[in-house]
C-alpha cells in the first residue's frame, strides 16, 4: 500500500468518525429541543425549577444541533473528498477547518488580552444580581446558597456586597448565615457586626482560583483539538496536492 493510499484511508476513517459523531450530537440536540421534559426525566426529578431548567436545555439543544451540523458537513466533505479524490471537496474541507482554527486562535488571544477587563465586567454583572435578586428569585438564591456553602464564602468580595440589598432590607437587616462562620458562636441571625467579625472571604476570588486550577485541563483539551485541526489541514492539503500526481502514475 502506497503512502498516498494509506493517508487516504486514514482520512476517510477519521472523517467518517466525525460525520457519525456530528450526527449523534445533532440527534441529541433535536431530542433535547423537541422533548426536553423526557430528557430531564432521564436524569431524575429536578424540583420546582424544572420549567426554567427545561428552557435552558432547549437553548443548549439548539447549540448542539449547530455544532453537530457543522461536524456532519466537515465529515462529509473530508470523507467524500478523500474517497472520490475530489480537489473541490478537499479544499472546502481545508477552508472550513482553517476558518475554525483562526477563530479559535483569535478567541484565545482576545481572552488573554482582555481577561482582566472580562473579570471586571463579570463582577459588574453579578453584583446587581446579588443586590436585587438574592432572596427574591428562587433560582438565584439557590445557586448562590450552594456556591457560598460549597466554597465557604460570602457574596462576591465580602458581606458588604449585601448591604442595602433586597435580602437585607426584607430580613430585618440580617445577612445570609453563610457570612457568619463557625468562629462566631451563639449566632442565630447574622448581623452586620457579626459578619464583620467573622470576616468570611468573598466567593469571586475563590471561583477564579478554581477556574485557574482547571485551566491546565482546559488548555490540554484545547491543545489536542488544535493538533487535530492542524493534522486535518495538513492531510487534506497533502491529498489535494498529490491527487494529480497519483492520477498520472495510475495512467
Rounded Cα distance between 53 and 142, Å, is 13
The answer to whether 202 touches 154, Cβ cutoff 8 Å, is yes
| pLDDT tens digits along 48-97 | 444 544 555 566 778 888 888 998 999 999 999 888 888 899 999 999 99
Q: pTM for this structure?
A: 0.61
pLDDT, residue 95, reads 92
Q: What is the average per-residue pLDDT within 10-14? A: 88
Q: At what angle do helices 138-151 and 203-213 cross, to 10 degrees?
A: 70
29-43, 76-90, 195-209: lowest mean pLDDT where?
29-43
Over range 19-33, report the average pLDDT.
84
The rounded distance, in Å, linking the Cα atoms of 35 and 24 is 16
Amino acid at each position: 500500500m502506497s503512502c498516498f493510499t494509506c493517508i487516504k484511508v486514514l482520512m476517510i476513517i477519521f472523517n467518517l468518525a466525525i460525520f457519525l459523531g456530528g450526527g449523534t450530537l445533532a440527534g441529541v440536540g433535536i431530542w433535547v429541543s423537541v422533548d426536553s421534559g423526557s430528557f430531564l426525566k432521564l436524569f431524575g426529578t429536578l424540583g420546582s425549577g424544572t420549567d426554567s431548567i427545561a428552557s435552558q436545555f432547549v437553548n443548549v439543544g439548539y447549540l448542539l444541533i449547530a455544532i453537530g451540523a457543522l461536524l456532519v458537513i466537515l465529515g462529509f466533505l473530508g470523507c467524500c473528498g478523500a474517497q472520490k479524490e475530489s480537489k473541490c471537496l478537499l479544499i472546502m474541507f481545508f477552508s472550513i477547518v482553517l476558518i475554525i482554527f483562526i477563530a479559535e486562535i483569535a478567541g484565545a488571544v482576545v481572552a488573554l488580552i482582555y481577561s482582566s477587563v472580562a473579570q471586571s465586567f463579570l463582577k459588574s454583572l453579578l453584583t446587581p444580581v446579588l443586590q436585587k435578586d438574592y432572596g427574591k428569585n428562587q433560582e438565584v438564591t439557590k445557586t448562590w446558597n450552594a456556591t457560598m456553602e460549597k466554597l465557604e464564602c460570602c457574596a462576591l468580595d465580602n458581606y458588604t456586597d449585601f448591604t442595602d440589598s433586597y435580602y437585607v432590607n426584607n430580613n430585618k437587616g440580617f445577612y445570609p448565615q453563610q457570612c457568619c462562620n463557625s468562629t462566631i458562636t451563639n449566632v442565630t441571625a447574622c448581623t452586620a457586626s457579626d459578619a464583620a467579625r467573622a470576616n468570611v472571604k468573598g466567593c469571586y476570588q475563590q471561583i477564579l482560583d478554581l477556574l485557574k486550577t482547571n485551566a491546565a485541563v482546559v488548555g490540554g483539551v484545547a491543545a489536542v483539538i488544535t493538533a487535530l485541526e492542524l493534522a486535518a489541514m495538513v492531510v487534506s492539503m497533502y491529498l489535494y496536492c498529490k491527487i494529480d500526481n497519483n492520477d498520472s502514475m495510475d495512467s
